[in-house]
Each structure stands twice: as structure tokens, then as C-alpha cells.
Amino acid sequence: MSDASAAERPLQGRCPIDHDSATQQKTARAVELPEVPLDCDAEGVWHVRAFELVRELLRSADTKQAGFNAESFAEQQQIINAPILFLDGNEHHVQRKQTARFFTPRTVSEKHRSMMESFADQLMREFRARKRIELSSVSMKMAVQVAAAVIGLTDSLLPGLSGRLEAFFDDHEPPETLSPPRRMLAHARSNARTFAFFYLDVKPAIRARRKRPQDDVISHLLERQYSDVEILSECLTYGAAGMVTTREFISVATWHLLEQPALLEQYLGGDESARQRLLHEILRLEPVVTHLRRRATADIEIAADGRRYTIPEGALIDLHIGAANLDSAATGPCPLSVQPERELQVPRVGAEVLSFGDGAHRCPGAYIAIQETDIFLQRLLRLPGLRFAQKPSVSWHPLVTGYELRNFWLELEG
């Protein structure tokens, strides 16, 4: 399997420093630094933590997508055109190239920026009137509004798109862990959610774009002869990627900035480039998706800790994004703190390091996510008298492999 067996690898030592007491991280279940760059567990899953190794495997042509239920989705016979998140190889490359125009900085700024600004202004007016908000709910509204415009989900029969999308992520227990009765109930709930989302949101958008195509994702899919079911699947994929993750990042960035007055002053006093760099640094420390999973499609030779290893074809690979983002070989010193002027030790790497992934599956909506977060926070954090009413609870979502911040209450004093 490798030059060193799993039982005898000398990769297991842990740093004696108590990083949990020194870290500025708020969402990690436990601080994980890449002292163990690579290992294979008893079930044959390869865990990769070092920045260079994670990036190498994200870019590898000898892996395929294995996260976000990609492998169970592949078993669905009625789907001919799989969602872009689940594609690999040339098919994925072609689809990414065709949809790239919806996510370029120029398109986002010219087509969506004014909408983001006006909707954020509306949310702030509502906050000023009520004096109190639950931030995760409000950030979800913002994320849904933006993603819906890009996708084309703008013709819903009833209000409540945000709630209907959020419902897909209410179940935190994998189906295989449930008893048969609970599994049947979960399946019924899932079908009901899918039915509601399709008939209230997706189908009306399809009808409208068949009559009058727009410059959005659904119109593009119709042009490529996607079926209604395939468009539904793509909308759910973009819903997870574009709405749920941005919602969490808005919340965690707010938490950091409100707790650190000097950081807040730096953020509010900076130009757009400086503000976005600071947001990227927070995202490096708090990646919303902390693990990415791949399946090896061939034997992969990889070097770690002065040894060579072979990840066998068919093996599941767990890429620890959170750990890779804390690798001082890439970040420089003090990786557990927010340092907007951080000088990375590797060339051609963004300030967020691997928080948006890398390689063929790098997040296409990265620019949108940061711009809408900045637009929202610029308005929120300038409100007079803004303060915590209740700091958020932190939980874990197994599908997204990331954190959820809930019960995050803010209020306006006076």
C-alpha cells in the first residue's frame, strides 16, 4: 500500500501547545493543525491535512467528487445531466466553461450589485424598525435573494423560498444511521420538501424562462435541453453552495468583527480591496466547508514526512480544509489568529487559502459570496448602537461538513 504501513507511520505526535486556549477560531469542534499531514484510518479512509498535499489532491486528475452525497446521487437513473457539482473530467470542464459568465466579477458588479445594495438597505430598514434581529435568519434572506437572481428562481408562486430551501438542511442524521421507521419518515419529509420547492419555485421559473429566456442559470439549462428534474437537481445544488454557506459566513464574520473593535475599525475604514482581504482572512480561519471528499480513480503516489505513500484506486480521501488553512508552511506564523496583513508563504494563493477549494471544483461563486457579504456587513456594522443580544450557538452539519450558527441575536441600543 505504501513504503510505510498504516500501523508504523511516525505521523501521530501532537503539538504540546494548548491551541484551544490561544485560538481566535469560533466554529471548530477542536483545533486541528496539520502535525499529522497524512494518515489512513482503520476503515481505509485517507485523511490529508497538510496544505500542499490537500491542494495537490484537489488538483489531481485521478480523483472524483465524493462529497455532498455525490456517490448516492450517481445511482439515480432518471438523471442524465448530473448537477455540475457532481461532474468530473471533460464533462465538468465544459459545463464550468459555459456557466462561468454568470459568476465573473464584471457580471456580478454590473448585473447584481445594485440589487444586493438595495436589498441590504431594505433589511437594515427592517432592523432599525424592530431594534432586534436573529442574524442567521436575516443573512439567509440575503443569501437567497442573491443566489435566486443568479440561478433564476425569481417567479415563485408563494413567498417563503428561503424557508423552503432551509428545510432541506434540517435533517442532521445520515439516513443509514436511522431505524427503518425513522428512515421512512425522513424520506417522506424529504419528498414533501422537494415537491414544495419544485412546484412553488422551480417549475414557475422554468415556465417563465421557456416563454422569455433570461441571462441566468435556468435559462442556460433549458437551452441545453435539461429536463425539469435535472433543473431541480441543479437548483438544489446551487442552493446548498450559494445560499447555505454564504449565510454562515455572514454570521461568523459579524461575530469576529463585533468582538474585536480594532478589527472592526480596520474593516469599516478600509477600501473595498482591504475589506475583502480581511473577509478572506476570516474565511481562512473559519472555512464554512471544513472537509472535502474525493474518491481515487487510480493509484495516487504522494510524498509526506519524507516518505512516499500510495493511495489505492477506489480509496475515499478526506481532505481536511480546516487543517490545511492552519498550515504555517502556507500561512506563516500565528495561523490561529485573524491577521488581515498576513503574508502567505506560497505563491498564487488567495488570502482565503483553500476555503473555496482548488482545482476543477473550486467554488465558482467565490466572488459573489464575498461581495454580498461585504455589502451586507458595510450596512449592518455601521448601524448606531449595534451590539450582541445573544451570541450564537454552534452546531455541525454532516452533509455540508461545516458549522451552523443559530440563535444569533443582535439589537440596536437606544
Q: What are the DSSP calls for 377-413, one per residue?
A: HHHHTTSTTEEEEEPPEEEEETTTTEEEEES-EEEE-
pLDDT at site 294: 94
pLDDT tens string 214-246? 999 999 999 999 999 889 988 988 876 778 899
Instruction: Judge whether 11 lies within some domain.
Output: no
Instruction: Answer yes or no: is 349 within a domain.
Output: yes
The answer to whether residue 4 sits within a structural domain is no
Q: Is residue 2 situated within a structural domain?
A: no
Residue 9 lies in a domain: no
Write the pLDDT tens digit of every residue in 166-223. 887 776 566 666 677 777 787 788 788 889 999 999 999 999 999 999 999 999 999 9
List strand residue ranges (DSSP E) for 80-189, in order.
Answer: 132-134
Domain that holds residue 394: 19-412
**Cα dihedral across residues 376, 377, 378, 381: positive or negative:** positive
Residue 10 domain-assigned (yes or no): no
Q: Are the C-beta atoms of residues 353 and 284 closer than 8 Å to each other?
A: yes
pLDDT bin (cut points 50, 70, 90) of residue 37 is: very high
pLDDT tens digits along 366-388: 999 999 999 999 999 999 999 99
CB 50 within 8 A of CB 301: no
Which residue matches cell numbers 505513500?
A: 309
What radius of gyration do the chain's Cα atoms show? 22
Asked whether residue 13 is domain-assigned, the answer is no
Tell me, what CATH number does 348's domain have? Answer: 1.10.630.10
Res. 2 pLDDT band, cuts 50 70 90: very low
**Is residue 247 one of the residues assigned to a domain?**
yes
Confidence of residue 4 (pLDDT cuts 50, 70, 90): very low
pTM of the model: 0.88
3-state helix, strand, coil in the chain (%, to 5): 50, 15, 35
Mean pLDDT of 301-316: 94
| Alpha-carbon dihedral 305, 309, 311, 317, rounded to 10 degrees | -10
| CA distance to 47, 163, 267, 301, 398, per residue, from 253 (Å) | 28, 23, 11, 38, 22
Beta bridge partners of 390: 409
- Split into its structural domains, the chain has a count of 1
